[in-house]
Structure 1
Amino acid sequence: MSPNLLEKVKTLDPMNPNRATALFGGKSSGILNWNNIKYPHWYKTYKRLLSNFWKSDEVNMSNDVKEFPMLSTEEQDTFLKVISLLATLDSSQTRTILLTSLYATDPSVQSILAVIAQQEAVHNESYSYILSSVVSLDKQNEAFEIGRSDPILLKRNQNIMEIYNQFVEKPSLENILKTLVYSTILEGLFFYSGFAFFYNLARQNKMVGTSTMISYINRDELEHGRFICELVRATLGENPELNTKHFTDWVYEQFRNSVELEVEWSHYVLNGVEGIDLDEMEGFIKYRANKMLRMIGLSEIYAMHINNPMKWIRAYVDNFDETKTDFFEQRNRQYTKISDLNGFDEL
């Protein structure tokens, strides 16, 4: 194997210390002692992730079954396209997070990434569950084909596909970092025009069961994005030779390109949707890009979009730091137990 490539971490290597010498490319026995890890606050991350447990079939979809045929043709079409997008992203993310974990020397990172990958698999299953509740099997299969055939969606996913597959073919530390950067873009930016569509339906008292499930997914993705941003920063801190102007410029370029692609996709999929202002949506996408860049440790690139222009979305993504009820169904939307670990980064 090339000296620039990383090897998959051995399952157990007892000649090495329990506390990893590095996040990637270091030495570790493989034995995880949460009381002896290099980044102790990641134990709280692990606990927060576990507290977010939920299952798709516990969300009441009975009203959505009745309401979907009452949506306009345009709304139904957008519904299927957005579900296809989300399923495509979470399918790739499950595999990518699992692959990243195989190269993580630090067993605490392995464990956190294992939980994240499991949650991504739950998200993907939930999209199948949503579709199985509202359309026929033929329509479900047709919707999942959109991710392989729609030219705008393929264009939008091209860069992330190339970066993720480059890591598969050449597992270097630099490619791991690039994959992690694109994971922050996926978790913190690429989902949001889709999420906005479902929240917009909910504020019109349509498809509330779907929007409730989306809010659980959104909550998970916020937590995933925060950890992956921390992992990027910690990995660069351990490998300062990679923390170069060239890499920083590359990150900025990927965010700019991703924003352009997300704006193009949002105009394509949300055009004509009642209640969605496309200019406001573009501002929200740029706001999210600024936010993720700050979390990585970089500066904003959209000076006019520091604040959230779509504050109404926050009504559908609870902070989950207190028990709340759904505005329309007036039932408890929270599955987690309340503790001091339950908070997460706001929208």
Structure 2
Amino acid sequence: MKLQERKLYDVTAPNASTGIINGESSNVLNWDDVRFPWAYPLYKNMLANFWTPFEINMSNDVRQYDLLESHEKEAFDKIIGLLAFLDSIQTDYSMQVARYLTDSSLSALMTVLSFQEVVHNQSYSYVLSSVTTKSKQDEIFEYWKHDSVLRERNDFIAQGYEAFVSNPTPQTFLESIVYDVILEGLNFYSGFSFFYNLARNQKMVSTSTMINYINRDEQLHVHLFANIFKELLRENPELNTPENHKFVQRTFTKAAELEINWAKYIIGDKIQGIDIDELEAYIKFMANKRVNELGVERPFEGYRSNPMRWIKIYEDVNSGKTDFFEQKSRQYTKVSTDNGFDDL
């Protein structure tokens, strides 16, 4: 069964859709008449996270970049290159998904998500244009094509997306969501830990502040796609099979393996403050956490608590708290108690 694209408008259909996919909807958005009660609160949270890179003063990072040790600078550049690739394809994927979500509120959420991914991508350009030359920036944005370790893990995600884009069915859609949660909920996290570790050593703090903002957005994106995944299974019980549960576990296991290989390659034992064994355990913990959020049995035995507890202070930004990086008052919306680093 092929997925049907949402109609531009339908005078015979209700405003609240009759299904998450292949349903009927007028395509008129009334936030007081939507199918999913979690959609509007999530929309408000996403808006509350609004930020732009221009808010962040990069002057200190400009001075510090050339003072980084060679292995720190290499990791900084290549991780930025990785993030630029992931957020670029994520922008396009989310717009592809929006075409097939019957409910107009979910389409609206995808539009906001796509916009946020564009902001993320701009932030990487903003960082690089601040701290290095245009030629070096261009080189960094080409890393994903030529670095074999980076290419392997990126191709893994891209091929999962391509299978859905080229053949949009309920099954390929479901599978693509698994790859999405891997991208937004696992692939970023060894990179995030690198930037947070720099910050706790008073290095590149402005860049780490920006990463923190991106991190908050990605948590909400994971929450959105996890909800869509569970609603898809609920409304289409023929998809809720042991085979698909095994697909989730198998795919996350492979993704964690690729993420660990990348972490050993780019961070290894070269970065003071990051223990590679702890980082490997952290990646497996995050894989367990994300699979559990999809309603599937965790793939890794154990790994129920975060072994890198120091990250929590960088991760958790609640309403009314002082920004850890900039030490000034900012008003944030707490996303969800489910999005922290509590034990599983």
TM-score between both structures, scaled by the size of structure 1? 0.95
1:306 counterpart residue number: 304
The residue type equivalent to 1:41 in the other structure is W
Q: Report how far residue 32 of structure 1 moved.
A: 1.3
Task: Mark the CA change 1:307 to 1:345 in structure 2 (over 3 Å): closer, same or farther.
Answer: same
Q: Deviations over 1:4-26 (max 9, x none)?
A: 21232111111111110101111
1:317, distance to aligned residue in structure 2 (A)? 1.6
Tell me which residue corresponds to 1:285.
Answer: 283
Give the partner amino acid of 1:14. Answer: V
Question: Shift of residue 304 of structure 1?
Answer: 2.4
Residue 330 of structure 1 is matched in structure 2 by 327
Divergent runs of 4+, >6 A: 340-344
Deviation (angstroms), 1:244:
0.8
Partner of 1:345: 339
Give the superposition deviation at 1:318.
Answer: 2.5
1:210 aligns to 2:204 (yes or no) = no
SS class of match (1:202) = helix
Could you say which residue in structure 1 is the equivalent of 2:294? Answer: 296
Offset at 1:325?
2.7
Secondary structure of 2:179's aligned partner: helix
In the other structure, the counterpart of 1:117 is 114
Aligned to 1:255, which of 227, 249, 252?
252
Between the aligned partners of 1:92 and 1:151, the Cα distance in structure 2 is 18
| Cα displacement (A) at 1:342 | 7.4
Q: Give the superposition deviation at 1:322.
A: 3.0
Residues of 2 paired with 1:202 and 1:163: CA distance? 34
Q: How many residues align?
A: 340
Separation in 1 of the partners of 2:257 and 2:226?
21
**65, 72, 87: which one pairs with 2:62?**
65
Q: Which runs of 5+ in 1 are unaligned?
A: none
User: TM-score by structure 2 length?
Assistant: 0.96
- Kindly provide the CA deviation profile for residues 183-219 of structure 1, in whole angstroms up to 9, marking residues without a partner as x: 1111110000100110010010000000000000000
Task: Give runs of aligned pairs for residues 12-27 of structure 1, distance below 5 A.
Answer: 12-27=9-24
* Same amino acid, percent of matched pairs: 42
Q: How does 1:1-347 map to 2 (within 5 A)?
A: 4-271=1-268, 272-327=270-325, 329-332=326-329, 334=330, 336=332, 345-347=339-341
Give the Cα separation in 2 of the matches to 1:325 and 1:108.
Answer: 32
Give the conservation status (yes or no) of the 8 Å contact 1:51–1:342.
no
Q: Is the 1:223–1:344 Cα contact (8 Å) retained in structure 2? A: no
**C-alpha separation between the residues in 2 aligned to 1:303 and 1:169?**
35
| Aligned-pair CA distance for 1:294 | 1.1
CA contact (8 A) 2:281 2:303 kept: yes
